[in-house]
Amino acid sequence: MKNSDFVALGKILRSQGRDGRFKLRLNEKGLPRPDCGTIYLRRADGFEAFSVESLTLDRNAYFLKLKGIDTLAGADALVGLDVFVAEADFRPLERGLFYDFEVIGCRVVMRDGAEIGEVSGILPAGGPILLIVKRGDGEIYVPFTETICVKVDPGAKEILIDPPDGLLELNEI
């Protein structure tokens, strides 16, 4: 597999108990659990594959148990590493819903073909989610709504927008 086939799931925060379990911090809140039998830990020399024994949610925290990591010392040796899964292991979402990793990196283009920039992040703002779009040396915020983001194509890494007048100039103050 190549690096682009992996999605950062989270980070190992600490060991949990003596049997080699870990507490995870997920990168996306409310992320549906991937259907994965294998996770990948990124080390300095590349990715190392591990079979998943269990991935459980307990009191709003995720706990991961890997096959072959059965001691507290073995778990402690992996604390701080980033956890990745294969993109193919994520369940498809309902029509119109997207994972953050599907949207980040997409080109943002107007209906007339004018390129606006590239999505560099997601900002949950209490109302509609805002796309952070890198434009030149700055950023603009685009509400991630069906009326503005009229076509989202994660496969082509492109979002077609039809913004109301003045939206793209709001951040230029």
**Residue 75 per-residue DSSP state:** H
> How does residue 35 score in pLDDT terms, banded at 50, 70 and 90?
low
Residue-wise pLDDT for 78-90, tens only, equals 999 998 888 777 7
Residue 30 has pLDDT above 80, yes or no: no
For residue 40, pLDDT over 70 is answered with yes
User: Do the strands 6-16 and 21-26 form a parallel or antiparallel pair, or are they unpaired?
Assistant: antiparallel
Q: What percent of the chain has pLDDT over 70?
A: 91
pTM, two decimals, is: 0.67
Complete domains list, the chain, with CATH:
3-89 (2.40.30.60), 100-172 (2.30.30.240)
Q: How long a stretch of residues is the chain? A: 173
